[in-house]
Amino acid sequence: MIDMHLHSTFSYDGKAEVEDIIAQVQKLGINHFCITDHYEYENGKLVHDFNVEEYFLTMDKFDLPRGAEISWDGVKEAIFPEGFDYLLLGVHRYDENLPPDELARDYLERTLYVMERVEFHTLAHLDYPARYANADFKANRDLIEKILRFLVAREKILEVNTAGLFKHGKPNPDYWILEMYWDLGGRFITIGSDAHEVQHIGRGIEEVMSKLRRFNFEYVVVEGKKLFTKKLR
């Protein structure tokens, strides 16, 4: 099993100690995982970060890849630390006061703007606002297609985030977006639970991977310091 999106107590909202994460993934038989703690800019300010030096020392101690979930709302500039093996790009900002179609469009436009300006490996939880707000992403297929084409052209990875299952009954992104990605030539995905607590590690991953078998995606994982692809058997 794979879980490439986990948060530890290095994250401002993480409740899982690194040692407990390791014990839990071993218990669950998760062979490939990455701790990706929050490093986030909003309105030109660094609002969530962690002790990168201490984090690197801890990952090296346990022979784990150095991961982070970087985030920027596109306002002013963002400067992210170097030395990570794996970078998730997770855009979190959206305006819940907008009508559903405009909310989704504003979020997607922000996402595309940030993608074009930040170095990253994987785009996390596309259609993220659907977890918490009334957002009409189907009314914005044109922008979703632009984002997916960007990923395909640059051989970036699309994350399937299973946390959405426990918020609104669907992964992020939704299955129809994953089908669009496949039809546009997208072949590289990864999957993560977005767990912030030990008991949430691995949640929903087997269910979603089973539903995605028909696409024959290649799953990207980190082994050592490099990215590799795995196909489901």
pLDDT over 70 (residue 233): no
CA distance 79 to 65: 21
pLDDT tier at 231 (50, 70, 90 boundaries)? confident
CA distance 32 to 30: 6
pLDDT tier at 68 (50, 70, 90 boundaries)? very high
Q: What is the pLDDT of residues 108-143, one digit of tens each?
A: 999 999 999 999 999 999 999 999 999 999 999 999
Q: What is the DSSP string of 69-115?
A: EEEE-SSS---PPS--SEEEE------TTS-HHHHHHHHHHHHHHHH
| Token duo for residue 76 | 């002013």
pLDDT of residue 126: 97
Domains and CATH numbers, the chain: 2-231 (3.20.20.140)
Percent of the chain with pLDDT over 90: 97
pLDDT tier at 225 (50, 70, 90 boundaries)? confident
pLDDT of residue 224: 80
β-strands 218-223, 188-192: how paired? Answer: parallel
Nearest to 79 by CA among 32, 40, 125, 128: 40
Query: 185: helix, coil or strand?
Result: coil
CA distance 5 to 180: 23
Residue with tokens 């590799």: 228
pLDDT of residue 129: 97
Question: Average pLDDT over the chain, rounded to whole?
Answer: 96
Is the pTM of the predicted complex or chain greater than 0.85?
yes
Nearest to 177 by CA among 152, 160, 155: 160
CA distance 52 to 9: 13
Q: What is the pLDDT of residues 166-190, one digit of tens each?
A: 999 999 999 999 999 999 999 999 9
Q: Are 75 and 117 in contact (CB under 8 A)?
A: no
Looking at residues 211-228, what average pLDDT do you find?
A: 92
Residue with tokens 């992964």: 171
Q: What is the DSSP letter of 13?
A: T
Query: How distant, in Å, are the alpha carbons of 102, 111, 116, 183, 233 from that of 154?
Result: 27, 16, 11, 16, 27
Nearest to 135 by CA among 159, 160, 111, 162: 111
Cβ within 8 Å of residue 15, ≥6 positions away: 9, 196, 197, 198
Its sign, for the CA torsion 5, 117, 10, 12, is negative
